[in-house]
Amino acid sequence: MEKQNYNHLTRTFQRLSRFDHLSAIAGWDMFTNMPPNGSTARGEALAELSVLQHQILTDKKIATLLQAAVQENLNDVERANLREMTRQYQEAILLPASLVEEKSLVGTRCEHGWRTQRPANDWQGFSTNLKEVVRVSREEAKLRAEAKGKSPYDALLDIYEPGMSSAKLDVLFGDLRTWLPDLLQKVVDKQAKESVITPVGPFATQDQRELGLETMKLLGFDFNGGRLDVSAHPFCGGVPEDVRITTRYDEGDLVSALFGVIHETGHARYEQNLPREWLGQPVALARSTAIHESQSLFFEMQLGRSKEFLKLLLPMVTARFGKQPAFESTNFTAVNQRVERGFIRVDADEVSYPAHVVLRYEIERALIDGEIEVEDIPALWDEKMQQWLGLSTKDNFRNGCMQDIHWTDGAFGYFPSYTLGAMYAAQLFNAAKRALPQLDSDIAEGNFSALFDWLRQNIWQHGSRFTTSELITNATGEDLNPLYFRKHLEARYL
């Protein structure tokens, strides 16, 4: 039978996808609804599920089927799917099931502890759990590094961003270092001469939620295939058929939750528009974490903080919260394009944001490669925050090295995706503007159909059919070029 081996593989990966579905929804529930005492049992259940998936994926017959399928008469999409299946298999066989289970268990324990330890500024308690996560992550990195012939950190980076290396990142981030601090200073100096009125709260959580839902609707979110909830750290989870996004509310701050929602809606629209006819197969998954971040930052920064979109948003804001001096049109734009050196990454403006990312990248790489230990993180964090942003986080663990959730579950290698994503987003928006000369006026009128069609045609519908480099080159005419990001920041802020 033609394609017999390939078809057998598709059935296996469809099965794995269904387990992924259960894991994703159970994980979402853990972060949003689960009572504290459910943590241990949920952690054990998710670990059991990850072991089961690992056993299915690393079965000896998978290797035989993958080899045999290469000889079969496959079309382009099927070949891409086989490439992605092979990649998943090769990543999985590098780890024993016991390590997969241990990683899941220590990650759940660390994340659950973080929820109370962060508000309490309890670095001692947090670091005890984090040491276990780092120990397991280093073990994983060592196994992957030996098999791939890479450094431990690069072996983990490869999971999130295939084809990327710390050598390439050092060039990209080294370039940022030559111009970003100077640009940041110029923008801060320029804005210091401009008087901006800050919106005055309180902004009731329920009204903020309704504003967020209205904005999601404006941005094309499909509520028949997703929902909005609250969590300690905003995220986008679930599956393409049922996308779960979360934000967190502060009644003294209107902007944080709203732009958190816009950011996560970018992730969600990508998931909701992945190729439905391939769902359940690896080729239907998002290309990489940086491409995923490019979509959220496209929505939040390129589109969401443009003056055209902010003018569109303003009547929605005043309808909920009434008129006040801060909601005068020019001022509202200025509030949302304000550049300030701050402690919190998820609330950072797009000029200072890369500093937060490079700082984390440098620390996590040194941590995984064994150059530093967990105890060294707070002092290093403080030193790098002072270098980049002139801020001290000494003894302020809550707003320093404990603010993010990524390290709790061992997601080392993820952070570079944010700044890579910002670079891709600027390049994609530039290409979209070239393709759609009326784009600014379309945005001002709330007409996003041409823009979303462009994203669907160039990014969303392709899933993992192409490599990251091919996807970006097809969409924009060239591989990643960080110059677009710099030009975007200079044009908007100077």
Tell me whether residue 300 is one of the annotated catalytic residues.
Answer: no
Distance of CA 476 to the CA centre of its chain: 21
Please list the residues that pair with 227 across neighbouring strands: 244
Burial zone of 428 (CB within 10 Å; 0-12 exposed, 13-18 middle, 19+ buried) = buried
**Are the C-beta atoms of residues 268 and 236 closer than 8 Å to each other?**
yes
Phi and psi for 245 in degrees, rounded to 5?
Answer: -115, 150
287 — alpha (psi -120 to 50), left (phi > 0) or beta? alpha
**Are the C-beta atoms of residues 436 and 448 closer than 8 Å to each other?**
no
- What is the rounded distance in angstroms from the CA atom of residue 438 to the CA atom of residue 427? 18
* 144 Cβ neighbours under 8 A, 6+ residues apart: 91, 94, 95, 150, 152, 155, 156, 158, 159
Angle, vertex CA 58, rays to CA 54 and CA 61, nearest 5: 140
Q: Which residue has the tokens 């990543």?
A: 91
Q: What is the DSSP letter of 450?
A: H
- What is the rounded distance in angstroms from the CA atom of residue 100 to the CA atom of residue 104? 6
Q: Which residue has the tokens 């809550």?
A: 398
CA trace torsion 329, 330, 334, 335 (10° rounding)? -30
3-state secondary structure string, 277-345?
A: HHCCCHHHCCCCHHHHHHHHHHHHHHHCCCHHHHHHHHHHHHHHHCCCHHHCHHHHHHHHCCCCCCCCH
The answer to the question of whether 267 is labelled as a binding residue is yes
Alpha helices in 328-392 (DSSP H): 329-336, 353-368, 377-389
Size of the chain in residues? 494
CA atoms within 13 A on the CB side of 442: 15
- DSSP calls for 125-171: HHHHHHHHHHHHHHHHHHHHHHHHTS-HHHHHHHHHSTT--HHHHHH
The answer to the question of whether 293 is labelled as a binding residue is yes
The answer to the question of whether 356 is labelled as a binding residue is no
Tokens, residue 385: 């925050």
**Are the C-beta atoms of residues 238 and 29 closer than 8 Å to each other?**
no
Q: One of 78, 264, 300, 350 is an active-site residue; which one?
A: 264
- What is the rounded distance in angstroms from the CA atom of residue 135 to the CA atom of residue 147? 19
Extract the annotated binding site: 263, 267, 293
Extract the annotated binding site for Zn(2+): 263, 267, 293
- Among all residues, which ones are annotated catalytic? 264
